[in-house]
Structure 1
Amino acid sequence: MGVARQFDRSQSMPNLDRRSLLAGAAATTAFAATATVAQTDKLIAQQDFTGKSVLITGCSSGFGRLAAEHLARKGAKVFATMRNLPRPEADELLDLIVSDNLDIHIIEIDVNDDEQVLRGVAEAERLAGGAIDVLVNNAGISVAGPIEIQDMEATQAIFDTNVYGPHRMARAVLPKMRAAKRGQIFNVTSQLGRVMLPGFGQYSPTKFALEAMSEQLAYELVPHGIDVTIIQPGGYPTKIWENSQKLTLGLLERADDHHTGGYTDMIAQLRARDGGETDPMDVPRAIAEIMAMPPGTRPLRRPVHPGPKPQVAINEVSAKTQVAWLGQSPYGPWIKSVHGV
């Protein structure tokens, strides 16, 4: 088993802040423009993650499963976590690990279970030989339907997974990350964490909450050399759609006409929805690209989708507002660092 690299950013890059790193990155980009190697080829060549440890939640399917394999093939030591082991998805991944000699370790973590989170992270840190380099909070659920028919069972379940789960995971990995003065956290939200589509229940509220928590965390972790990036996917045909349909049908079975009677057309539309024909690999590729960037230069948010990205305008005005409001306050250095000002 490989050992996670031990790297203290404060020692290796003294007196460099995000602004100076951005200036250096800009100079590098300008030089690359005159080179014969395309910038995209250069970015791909930089994606050698040998010695880097990555813990990913929700690896039984979708973005998590794809990211685990993608990053392992680029040399990372991956801790692919999922709940309810043993399960067929874990067996399939294990077969791939053996056949392709991938450095992937399957660990049971239900992000809703405090003890499993602590135990699973401790095991990953033991196998990594120290702090986890990268945490990818990917696990999430969706329960569709108008807000009125979202009972407390459905509401508590989605907030526990989509908001409290990433919080549990961050709290578990951060002590050792801070001690190492390095680290990276990816929180997978959604474009529906910035804009809302009627009929998606508490999904947008949970993703809005995760967006806010992630941004606050990004500011607070600047002094500790830890980067936070929010991945904002659009619609993709991952298993979350299938699982959402099951959860939604369960909710509808529990609901009564007193609540559902006013939303007949909306409920019919939700039964027919799908994730489109986009390529879910867009998300693992975006994560790998950002991982390869120098510490301190990584973006706070990355929209990911080949189609419309309605959240972009909101991301831009939000960043400008934060800098204008707090840029000259005692928090100014943190705010400006995160937004590259």
Structure 2
Amino acid sequence: MADTQDDETGETPPREGKLKTVLITGCSSGIGREAAKAFLDDDGWTVYATARDTDDIADLGEAGCETAELDVTDENHVRQVVERVLSETGRIDALINNAGYGQMGPIEEVPTEVVHEQFDVNVYGPHRLIRAVLPHMRERERGTIVNVSSVGGRVSHPGGGVYCGSKFALEAMSDALRSEVEPFDIDVALVEPGPVNTSFGDEMRARTDKLERSGAYDWFYSVIEDTQLIGGGGFGSIEAKEVAETILEAANSPNPSPRYPVGQFGKLSSLARLAPDPIRDAVFGIVRRFV
């Protein structure tokens, strides 16, 4: 049942002690889970934590979050969850588009249908959520959208074209959206972590193992199998909690930055985009020959 509207403002009054509402995707593990906890610990937020399987976030419900099943590739799921939040709280002050995964592999060896699956989650998913919440945010003339990207959304690398392509697309959409919604006092921010100590790397390697290999790119698979650089506690990795705190900072800020690189590796890597293409290509060539 929806709360009774305030006679003066026409808005649904916030829940007792709660001033704002946040909707977070991909809360089953890693950054999304830590983000739900961070918002819950920050006084004033009603937190809607979502995942494809609500069993994975049952403990977040016990901790005080509202939980919901949400597959970001399902238009009906997106619409139903947004309608539920608005019915129960009358507001969505912040949308955190966190759900995503990494598909690595040489461009030649990643089937087109797998590329589509990557974009369906990492690009079309956030787009579905944004389209669902924007009419409400525009009507209220307030709100913040935080899209969780990656340093891979600024600098691509061999074997990462599909994943980086999805993050490049998310960054481009965010840049356009930021200007489009500025007249409605809606903010858009990108959070760009480097390697994060989560299960991301293990899941990425599992997907890479399923690719049919031609033998032409064995050097790449050697790098993937021998390094923990992409998630999982390798060099330069940070904890998911640090990323979550940055997401919370962006959502709480009255004037958030367009981009928030997170971690030293992330901040340094983002500067690599300033290097001339031939220099980056030469560096990647040295790595390939060394492997």
Q: In structure 1, which of residues 41, 46, 71 is the aligned counterpart of residue 39 of structure 2?
A: 71
Per the normalisation by structure 2, the TM-score is 0.82
Deviations, residues 143-188 of structure 1 (Å, cap 9, x unaligned) = 1111111102210110000000000000011111100010000001
What is the rounded CA distance, in whole Å, between the counterparts of 2:272 and 2:201 in structure 1?
Answer: 27
**In structure 1, what is the equivalent of residue 71 of structure 2?**
110
Q: In structure 2, which of residues 198, 220, 225 is the aligned counterpart of residue 266 of structure 1?
A: 220
Change (3 A) 1:242 1:225: same
Change (3 A) 1:208 1:309: same
**Deviation at 1:2?**
11
**In structure 2, what is the equivalent of residue 125 of structure 1?**
86
- Does 2:271 correspond to 1:302? no
Q: Percent identity?
A: 39
**Deviation at 1:314?**
4.8
Per the normalisation by structure 1, the TM-score is 0.70
**In structure 2, what is the equivalent of residue 145 of structure 1?**
105
Q: In structure 2, which of residues 41, 53, 58 is the aligned counterpart of residue 91 of structure 1?
A: 58
Could you tell me whether the CA contact under 8 Å between 2:25 and 2:97 is conserved in 1?
A: yes
* SS class of match (2:57): helix
- Does 2:36 correspond to 1:82? no
Change (3 A) 1:210 1:262: same
**In structure 2, what is the equivalent of residue 185 of structure 1?**
145
* SS class of match (2:200): helix
- Structure 1 unaligned spans of 5+: 7-48, 316-341
Q: In structure 1, which of residues 163, 185, 188 is the aligned counterpart of residue 123 of structure 2?
A: 163
What is the rounded CA distance, in whole Å, between the counterparts of 1:189 and 1:183 in structure 2?
Answer: 19
**In structure 2, what is the equivalent of residue 21 of structure 1?**
none
**In structure 1, what is the equivalent of residue 253 of structure 2?**
293
What is the rounded CA distance, in whole Å, between the counterparts of 1:153 and 1:239 in structure 2?
Answer: 24
Q: Considering only aligned residues, what root-mean-square deviation do their CA atoms show, in Å? A: 2.2
Could you tell me whether the CA contact under 8 Å between 1:234 and 1:304 is conserved in 2?
A: yes
**Deviation at 1:139?**
0.5
- Does 2:156 correspond to 1:229? no
What is the rounded CA distance, in whole Å, between the counterparts of 1:242 and 1:114 in structure 2?
Answer: 28
What is the rounded CA distance, in whole Å, between the counterparts of 1:290 and 1:107 in structure 2?
Answer: 23
Q: How many residues align?
A: 255
What is the rounded CA distance, in whole Å, between the counterparts of 1:302 and 1:312 in structure 2?
Answer: 13
What is the rounded CA distance, in whole Å, between the counterparts of 1:50 and 1:291 in structure 2?
Answer: 15
Deviations, residues 247-298 of structure 1 (Å, cap 9, x unaligned) = 2222x2xx2x5xx21001211211233222422211111122223322xx21
**In structure 1, what is the equivalent of residue 172 of structure 2?**
212
* SS class of match (2:217): helix
Change (3 A) 1:94 1:131: closer
- Structure 2 unaligned spans of 5+: 7-16, 275-291
What is the rounded CA distance, in whole Å, between the counterparts of 1:81 and 1:167 in structure 2?
Answer: 16
Q: In structure 2, which of residues 247, 259, 270 is the aligned counterpart of residue 311 of structure 1?
A: 270
Could you tell me whether the CA contact under 8 Å between 2:105 and 2:208 is conserved in 1?
A: yes
**Deviation at 1:50?**
3.8
Aligned partner letter, 1:90: I
Deviations, residues 28-78 of structure 1 (Å, cap 9, x unaligned) = xxxxxxxxxxxxxxxxxxxxx941100000000011000001111112111
Change (3 A) 1:55 1:138: same
Change (3 A) 1:112 1:273: farther
Aligned partner letter, 2:28: S
Aligned partner letter, 2:85: A
What is the rounded CA distance, in whole Å, between the counterparts of 1:314 and 1:199 in structure 2?
Answer: 17
What is the rounded CA distance, in whole Å, between the counterparts of 1:63 and 1:194 in structure 2?
Answer: 19
**Deviation at 1:113?**
0.5
Aligned partner letter, 2:41: R
